[in-house]
Amino acid sequence: MIALKETTDWGNAKAPNHTYLVDGNNLIAYIKQGESEPFYFKNPIKGFSKSGRKFDTLKSNPFKTFEVKSSIVRVEGSKGAVYEVDTDTNTCTCPGYTFRGSCKHTKELV
């Protein structure tokens, strides 16, 4: 995971530049400009785009003193597909859970 400080020049738009905690293309958390407390997403936001924006990678990670608590467990389905089970909400991203509201993946992790 890396911490990125946005440095985009927004011109007259005056948009704030936040600090982001990114894992690959997934946004884990951010700190609003002018604040020091991070906001952690319950589930990472997939597809964080840096397109058209500028960032500096921070050497001193402002997120390191905060613990990321993830209740997401990745499991492999019977045909090799990987699904995400949220052990806090007992939900799964597999088609069976989507259709029936329950599946073997959530039952196996209880």
Question: Where along the chain do its domains lie?
Answer: 2-57, 72-108
DSSP letter, residue 86: E
How far is 34 from 49, CA to CA, in rounded Å?
22
Q: How many percent of the chain have pLDDT more than 90?
A: 26
Strand pairing of 55-57 and 39-46?
A: unpaired
State pLDDT tens for residues 36-51: 888 988 888 888 988 9
Name the amino acid, one letter, at 38.
P
In contact, 20 and 29? CB cutoff 8 Å: yes
Q: How many percent of the chain have pLDDT more than 70?
A: 93
State pLDDT tens for residues 86-104: 888 889 899 998 889 889 9
Which residues have a Cβ under 8 Å from the Cβ of 81 and sit 6 or more positions away? 94
Position of tokens 């613990």?
Answer: 67
